[in-house]
Amino acid sequence: MTTTTPNDDVKGGGGAAEQAHRRRWAVLAICCVAAALLGIDNSVLNYAIPSLSRELGPSSTQLLWIVDIYGFVLGGLLIVAGNIGDRIGRKKLLLLGVAGFGAASALTAYADGPGTLIASRALLGLAGATIMPSTLSLVRSAFDDPKERTTAIGISSGIGAASFALGPVVGGALLDHFWWGSVFLINVPVMAAVLVAGVVLLPESRNPRPGRLDWPSVPLSIAGLFGVIYAIKTAARDGVDDHAVWISAAVGVAALVLFLRRQTTLAEPLLDLRFFRNPAFAGAVGSNVVTLFTATTLSLGFSLYFQVVRGWSPLTAGLALLPGPLSAAFAAPLSALLIPRIGRARTVSFGLLLMALSTAAFGLISADTSYWLLLPALVVNGAGLIFVFSVTADTLLASVPRTRTGTAAAISETAMELGGALGIAILGSVLSAFYRDGLTLPAGLSPDRVATARESVTSGVETGAALPGATGQQVVAAAKSAFTDAMHGTLYIAAALMLIGAVAALFALRGVPAVLDVPEAPAEQAAKTATATAV
């Protein structure tokens, strides 16, 4: 008679599982560093654009692709990458991704033209898609004890959240002393260290009975997600009048419909829709989407507020936003203490409530509000964010079979990518509309200047700065005032959505136990049943 141990997906059986258990905190550290570098890289490019534009001279279209191609490729490949990791081994996929990310970073740093830079950024997205689900699933596989697992995933989520705010700080510090490529070259030694440590310390884990990979599902998944993400981001930037938006949306939706229908007919689907029958999994994914939908707009608004309205440098603006993610990193372990006391549903709801209250408080700011009045709300917002992400990440990974954690992590990351893109597209458009409606310009400006000033707060301030005397000062003041008022309305909408999400989380995650038993895959259940029957 054979038995199924908790770590049957760890290659090599019991001895390897014991070794993996001893190294579990080292696994967490390695995965946190790899994931943090992805977060930094995701936000650092915006601060290198001015200098790389001067040196490489990209056209406006090329510049858009330089900025967007990373996210397009990353979002389009996450589900495929997570599924492959479950099949070939999450350690193997992570190390391939780390090596690829380091090599692509070097290519990006020394790109000699816009075309090379676009191609190298696409390679970064490809490598990132293999790293994202692998890190989370490896952490999940390394921790057997539910309390330790919750703490570890909370720490991982906190560091991941902090890394996004480190992008402006790291980028600003490097760009003050070096050329634009330095913000990418810094990835190379870090990823080299992760690669060496990973080869030595990471255990291998995979699905021991993965079944056949359904190859027709792969292009359908990629085309569907790429098309939808491209349509959302293009609409957010250029509006819905662009024909490319409707074409890519139609292609993406059609491909996704075909993909999802195909998944319901397969014994071993690329995306197991049965996961969503589990209230814990569906509620966790839904909470993440709501959080990213609202939080990304907050980040966008404050980046413009600090740099354009307040006139701070990118480095200063990055440092000003840093307390929020840092509070997330420090508050992450608290989620493991809250779960047994108030439950998963109330912990997620409490996190969204904290975010709603702090976001509403941000709606009271003016163009000259003291930063020290903003600081408490930034700290509270970061803590609320991590109460959501750390609990939902642990919940969704613990609510699927251990053999499918790579796929589950990829579903979560994809949902968050879509949530963030939709937030920028919808709430970002609301912010822009409020700005245009609230902008009152002095009389006598030419139609061209009026049109330029109405495009964005950046254009409005630049238009005013180019005008002489009192007229220019009035335009600058009007643009700053209109944008601050626009932030008020947008932040109140975001806060209301967070409140709705907090209430929804109470129902969506209702009944999910504080300690989740890892479900078995159908194949494992069948094997146990057969064994028991034989005995």
Q: Express each pLDDT in 187-236 by its tens digit.
A: 899 899 999 998 888 888 776 676 677 788 888 888 888 888 888 777 76
The SS3 call for residue 269 is coil
Length of the chain: 535
Instruction: Report percent pLDDT > 70 for the chain.
Output: 89
In sign, the C-alpha dihedral spanning 490, 495, 498, 499 is negative
pLDDT at 370 over 80: yes
CA-to-CA distance for 262 and 174, rounded, in angstroms? Answer: 48
Residue 3: predicted pLDDT: 36
Residues 6+ apart with CB under 8 A from 67: 45, 46, 49
Higher-pLDDT residue of 507, 240:
507
Phi-psi region of 204 (alpha: psi -120 to 50; beta: other; left: phi over 0): beta
Report the chain's mean pLDDT, rounded to a whole number. Answer: 81
Query: Which tokens go with 61?
Result: 């279209």
Neighbours of 447 (CB within 10 A): 7
CA-to-CA distance for 359 and 380, rounded, in angstroms? Answer: 9
In sign, the C-alpha dihedral spanning 431, 432, 434, 438 is positive
Ranges of CATH 1.20.1250.20 domains, the chain: 1-204, 290-535
Q: Please write the tens of the pLDDT for every residue from 34-88.
A: 888 887 877 777 677 777 777 887 776 777 788 778 877 887 888 888 888 888 8
1-204 has which CATH code? 1.20.1250.20
CA-to-CA distance for 237 and 136, rounded, in angstroms? Answer: 31
* Pick from 82, 299, 321: nearest CA to 207: 82
Residue 517: predicted pLDDT: 59
Higher-pLDDT residue of 163, 93:
93
Query: Which tokens go with 353?
Result: 């409530």
The values of phi and psi at residue 512, to 5°, are -75, 120
CA distance to 89, 369, 379, per residue, from 373 (Å): 49, 7, 11
Query: Which tokens go with 66?
Result: 């330089």
Query: Which tokens go with 191?
Result: 């990823």
Residues 6+ apart with CB under 8 A from 245: 231, 234, 235, 238, 239
pLDDT at 533 over 80: no
* Pick from 415, 436, 529: nearest CA to 489: 436
Residues 6+ apart with CB under 8 A from 158: 328, 329, 330, 331, 332, 333, 386, 390
- Cβ(406)–Cβ(290) under 8 Å? no
Q: Which of 123-127, 173-177, 301-305 has the highest mean pLDDT?
A: 123-127
* Pick from 307, 297, 360, 322: nearest CA to 161: 322
- Taking each continuous run of H as one helix and of E as one strand, the counts in the chain are 20, 0
Fill in the DSSP letter of residue 237: H
CA-to-CA distance for 381 and 377, rounded, in angstroms? Answer: 6
With vertex at residue 416, the alpha carbon angle to CA 414 and CA 418, rounded to the nearest 5 degrees, is 70
The values of phi and psi at residue 205, to 5°, are -145, 145
CA-to-CA distance for 102 and 194, rounded, in angstroms? Answer: 10
pLDDT at 526 over 50: no
Fold of 290-535: Growth Hormone; Chain: A; (1.20.1250)
Residues 6+ apart with CB under 8 A from 448: none
CA-to-CA distance for 460 and 477, rounded, in angstroms? Answer: 9
Higher-pLDDT residue of 266, 127:
127
Residue 369: predicted pLDDT: 87
Residue 495: predicted pLDDT: 92
Confidence of residue 12 (pLDDT cuts 50, 70, 90): low
CA-to-CA distance for 412 and 399, rounded, in angstroms? Answer: 12
The values of phi and psi at residue 143, to 5°, are -115, 115
CA-to-CA distance for 406 and 21, rounded, in angstroms? Answer: 19
